[in-house]
Amino acid sequence: MGKPAATPETRSVRLLKVGEQVRHVLSELLTRQQVHDDVLSAHAVSVTQVRMSPDLRHAAAYVKPLLGVDEEVVLKALRTHTAFFQKEVAGRLKLRFAAKLRFLADDSFDEAGRITALLADPRVARDLDDADANAGET
């Protein structure tokens, strides 16, 4: 049986702090266009979250280009410059080990949009209105 997925409540504070520090370094590098790449210079990229492995040797960086435009192209450019990002993160954070970075698309915005669309559906709104009316009668 596999280990249950880690939730924010079960992850250690140190993992969260280091992940946030890595996110800040990556965001700063991208914002100040310190990566010499035409694709990354042409797109505004948000680093939404960085999840660290328990041993702090691996980091999954979730990114989203502005408005989700050219997501695959941006991910490819980020992955091309992974060694540069790893070197910069290691140099700025002075951790015992340089975390191996993986860049992944952040789908949380798409999921939030899907949920919003479901809640806006007239059938769901009707059911929610019925539930509110029944709660008021009790």
pLDDT in tens, 38-90: 888 888 999 999 999 998 899 999 999 887 778 899 999 999 999 999 999 99
pLDDT for 124: 72
> Which residue's entry shows tokens 């929610």?
128
pTM (two decimals) = 0.72
pLDDT for 79: 94
pLDDT for 7: 61
> DSSP letters along 3-53, please?
PPPPPTTTS-HHHHHHHHHHHHHHHHHHHTT-S--HHHHHS-EEEEEEEE-
| Inter-residue contact 50 to 22 (CB < 8 Å) | yes
Q: Which residue has the higher pLDDT, 77 or 124?
A: 77
Q: Which residue has the higher pLDDT, 110 or 99?
A: 99
The yes or no reply on domain 13-106 and CATH 2.102.10.10 is: no
Q: What is the DSSP letter of 107?
A: -
Mean pLDDT of 4-29: 82
Domain with CATH 3.30.300.20 in the chain: 13-106
Mean pLDDT of 106-132: 72
Mean pLDDT of the chain: 83
Question: Of all residues in the chain, what percent carry a pLDDT higher than 90?
Answer: 41
pLDDT for 101: 95
User: Is 80 exceeded by the pLDDT of residue 114?
Assistant: no
pLDDT for 132: 65
